[in-house]
Structure 1
Amino acid sequence: SSQASFNFSMPAANTTLTANFNTVYTVTYSVIGGNGSLAATVNGTAISSGSSVVAGSDVVFTATPANGYKVKEWKANGTVVSGNTSNNYTVEDIAANTTVNVEFELITYTLTFIVKATDNTLLEGASININSETIVTNASGEATIDLAPGTYDYTVTLQDYLDVTESVTITNANVTENVEMSHVGIVEGDFAQFSVYPNPFSNEITISNPQIVKSVSISAINGQVLSIIETEGKASINTENLPVGMYLITFESHNGERFISKMVKN
């Protein structure tokens, strides 16, 4: 018998009883921080945390992450088990009291931003604010961040370029997000000899070459369009009803080219 007590019927003869003892060790286990469960078995039989296990046994631990999570790391007696982020961990030939912990983390995917100007020039140094973090594009116009599935708002900023505010959705795969930024005050083509003044302005903006302008779009600094005006060759734009503040004024030519100016009303 392997029980701690044993009932014996004494025969009508001298008898010798021998008790053999096995060394046992205590096995405790738990999950750090939740988001999953942990179970243990010895020789295929489930054991609870705090159980005694015979020395030399193999103890098999099985982690079950919650939906959207994975194993981050295992710890044995407080030390991280290097190189094991699988759902299983085995203590072989147990020879001491042992504590095993497992910790889970969200499954994340890589979001890659590629930021270009309207002429396809890759833009270095653009700041991208997303999920309360800021990442910056490299010389290839790229910046990356690891995020859990979900929808995230982001804003891209770069000196002399119009801010871009959009959102991106990550499901269960890596995502590449292409961003196009418009240069503020670019002077070429139809607008090579173009100017607007004064800046700051008050109740009126004057156009130097009104004949080349088809329409004017007035936007808040976050890109929200407030009004679109068909100029019809007029040399001035009435801004009397605009509140004091900073605006992005986009002038579009009859050929579809654009001139963007950051202007302030005082």
Structure 2
Amino acid sequence: MNRILTIVLLAVSAYFAYRLYRGVQGTIEERELIKTTEYAVITRLKLIREAEVVFQEANRRYTSNWDSLINFIENGKVPNIQRREEIKQVGYGQEEIKVFFDTLGFTPAKDKIFKKSFTLNAADNGIFMGFKVKEGDRIIKNQKAYLIKIDGKEQDPPFQDQGVITKLAAFAVGDEVKKGDVMVNFWDYTFDPNTDLKKLSEVPGGDGYKFEINVGKVDKNGVLVQVIEVKDPKPINPDRKDSNEAKNRKPLHFGSKTDVTTSGNWESQ
């Protein structure tokens, strides 16, 4: 009898131990799912935000139409504007300043949205001793860029970002380099170029439901200013609620219906 009771108790203990393990393991897996899904949602919101900002730059307004936004990304062009000033003497001690904005060609909207340009500048005065890279190279962070002699000692400054080199400065070995001179121009993707734009409006991990997008205008000191808000309407994290007082505990979103901002609430975490 005692032996049977012992076996029963062991079986019951094993059962509850397994239930406890599954409960803990399930909680860990749920937290990991929330973390990875929210990372994907934030990445998508960043892309939508950049697309809307560039759309507004080109069209002087935001759009709440997903088809229009997607078409703009795929086919739109953004003017390259250069600001210049002309100063004219109009009297003793008086000047007239005229400001001009020149259009210097156009950039495909997708390049403007998906790519970011970088420069590597000389950190100090010195004598140029040669590049360690060439145009067209894909470079990685901390890769050495060029040789420069400073106070008789050679140094090889590294890149602080990765990307593809588009231009090297026209320095010859022995030329004097001044602090701040642009040594290298390069670019890299800030978003995955293989993103399926047809699914731009869909919330990652959301079984096909879409982000809510609201565009409007608010009065700021008598001037109507455009505002935009894009939000995940059904957060995977059950703790994210509109009723939460803390902004970073509300559903993931960027922008506001009432304030002139495009900040994301994840950026205040």
Q: TM-score range by the shorter chain?
A: under 0.3
Higher relative contact order (CA 8 A, sep 6+): 2
Scaled by the length of structure 1, the TM-score of the pair is: 0.16
Greater helix proportion = 2
Q: Which has the larger radius of gyration?
A: 1
Scaled by the length of structure 2, the TM-score of the pair is: 0.16
